[in-house]
Amino acid sequence: MVGKEQMQQFQSWNAKIPESIHKCIHHTIEQQALTNPEAPAVYSTEPSMSLNYRQFNEMADTLAKTLTNLGVGPESLVPFCMDKSPLTPIVMIAILKAGGACVALDPSHPIQRLQSIIRDSEATVILTAPSHASKFIDLVSHVLPVNEDMFIPSAEFPDQGVSPLAQAVHHGNPAFVIFTSGSTGTLKGIVVEHGAFCSSARSHATPLRIQRGSRVLQFA
């Protein structure tokens, strides 16, 4: 049972309702690429993969157009299985730009769990680090290994330009689906919409003192 003082504390913490931000996650990236194109977006110990917002946005556009050509659109659930890498945030934003929702797969998890998530997602496309591609060959129609080479124009990945994508993505569309087994042991998908994520990010930025110049470690 919660005591009176604890309940009052909970109520005080939740007295102010965060402002609702009716935006899509990738639109905030695109806006930053327009207003502050040279600002750092991704820092890496690999010099070639330290990216400013213009470079980051262009690479995400390139991958997003490949995804739309494979049938990804609004409400599509798109699993991705990546190691910690500068390419991982590009993969996530590319999925959102194509209209899809990100479904994160942890490469350290048992293959049976990954297979179950993919089945529940009804996915047709999966993005993965090349080292994990063989796990998914028989599970989806398209397994897309992601590496730096795919952002260099070639016959397989031609230069498609960086014009905005014409996908009708709304702040109420899902951005992420997080699968958790909870207390029952059965996997359940928790949907996080674009607007909910943007509202949460905005409300947390001030108390966490996140501002221009802040760096957030890729730890999850």
pLDDT of residue 216: 82
CB-based contact 125:97 (threshold 8 Å)? no
**Domain membership flag for residue 74:** yes
Q: Which two tokens stand for residue 62?
A: 């390139």
Half-sphere exposure of 178 (CA within 13 A, CB side): 6
Which residues have a Cβ under 8 Å from the Cβ of 207 and sit 6 or more positions away? none
pLDDT of residue 159 exceeding 60: no
Q: Residue 16 — pLDDT band, cuts 50, 70, 90?
A: confident
**Domain membership flag for residue 57:** yes
CB-based contact 108:132 (threshold 8 Å)? no
Q: What percent of the chain has pLDDT over 70?
A: 91
79-105 residue pLDDT tens: 999 998 889 999 999 999 999 999 999
Domain count, the chain: 1
pLDDT of residue 11: 84
Helix, strand and coil in the chain, % to nearest 5: 40, 15, 45
pTM of the predicted structure, to 2 decimals: 0.86
**Domain membership flag for residue 217:** no
**Domain membership flag for residue 54:** yes
Domain membership of residue 74 as a residue range: 22-205
The SS3 call for residue 193 is strand
**Domain membership flag for residue 13:** no
The SS3 call for residue 7 is helix
**Domain membership flag for residue 130:** yes
Looking at residues 148-158, what average pLDDT do you find? 64
Q: Residue 133 — pLDDT band, cuts 50, 70, 90?
A: very high
25-76 residue pLDDT tens: 999 999 999 999 999 999 888 777 889 999 999 999 999 999 999 999 998 9
Please measure the distance between the N-terminal and C-terminal CA atoms of the chain and give it in whole angstroms.
33
The SS3 call for residue 196 is helix
Q: Specify the CATH number for the domain of residue 58.
A: 3.40.50.980
pLDDT of residue 214 exceeding 60: yes
Length of the chain: 220
The SS3 call for residue 80 is strand
Q: Which residue has the higher pLDDT, 213 or 100?
A: 100
d(CA 60, CA 95): 8
Radius of gyration of the chain (CA): 19
CB-based contact 72:100 (threshold 8 Å)? yes
**Domain membership flag for residue 10:** no
pLDDT of residue 162: 45
Q: Which residue has the higher pLDDT, 165 or 171?
A: 171
| Number of neighbouring beta carbons within 10 Å of residue 192 | 16
**Domain membership flag for residue 218:** no
